[in-house]
């Protein structure tokens, strides 16, 4: 394991401990509404786990306008689908059943993250699903994080994909 990966693992451990101790469900849809409404295409979100910022209200808002796309974990990759039904999937994440969508049809991807820094470096849980999926993505990418997870600086590796902004329970920041 590289020195950067070791540093990332230590940061993940600290953030998960804090998140597990203090995370409360909060509605992020009010902050995201303007960003979502400014996009004309499909919008990819995700099904949050118990310790992540809540996505139900945001996903309902997108589903009402028939613009919601969710990722399905397939091996080491993500497949994007219009959710007609959700079933238990890998890593205790709800997985969509429905028509497949090409990433090029999506204008905005809202990703999970443990932290994001002021330069748009996103720290995920370490499996690299989103970095692989978004490596050539041409649309906007925003992470959904708690305000306390917006940090000044995070370590970055060559495969890490920078994002365009963050949505917190308090505000939206664009980089």
**Count of domains observed in the chain:** 1
- In the beta sheet, which residues pair with residue 95? 87
Q: Which are the contacts of 174, defined by CB distance < 8 A and separation ≥ 6?
A: 164, 165
Q: Which of the two residues, 130 and 16, has the higher pLDDT score?
A: 130
**pLDDT at residue 25 greater than cutoff 70:** no
Q: Where are the alpha helices (DSSP H) in 29-155?
A: 29-37, 56-64, 129-133
Which pTM was predicted?
A: 0.91
The domain that holds 92 is classified in CATH as 3.40.50.10420
Mean residue pLDDT of the chain comes to 91
**Residue ranges making up the domain that contains 12:** 3-174
């Amino acid at each position: 394991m590289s020195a950067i990966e070791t540093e990332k693992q230590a940061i993940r451990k600290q953030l998960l401990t804090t998140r597990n101790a203090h995370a409360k469900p909060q509605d992020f849809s009010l902050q995201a509404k303007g960003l979502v409404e400014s996009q004309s295409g499909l919008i990819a979100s995700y099904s949050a786990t118990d310790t992540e910022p809540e996505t139900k209200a945001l996903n309902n808002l997108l589903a009402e306008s028939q613009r919601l796309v969710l990722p399905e974990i397939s091996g080491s990759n993500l497949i994007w689908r219009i959710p007609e039904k959700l079933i238990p999937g890998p890593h205790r994440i709800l997985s969509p059943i429905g028509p497949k969508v090409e990433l090029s049809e999506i204008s905005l991807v809202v990703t999970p993250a443990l932290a994001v820094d002021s330069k748009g470096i996103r720290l995920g849980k370490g499996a690299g699903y989103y970095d692989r999926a978004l490596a050539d993505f041409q649309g906007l990418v925003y992470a959904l994080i708690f305000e306390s997870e917006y940090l000044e600086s995070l370590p970055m590796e060559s495969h890490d994909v920078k994002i365009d902004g963050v949505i917190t329970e308090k505000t939206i920041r664009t980089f």
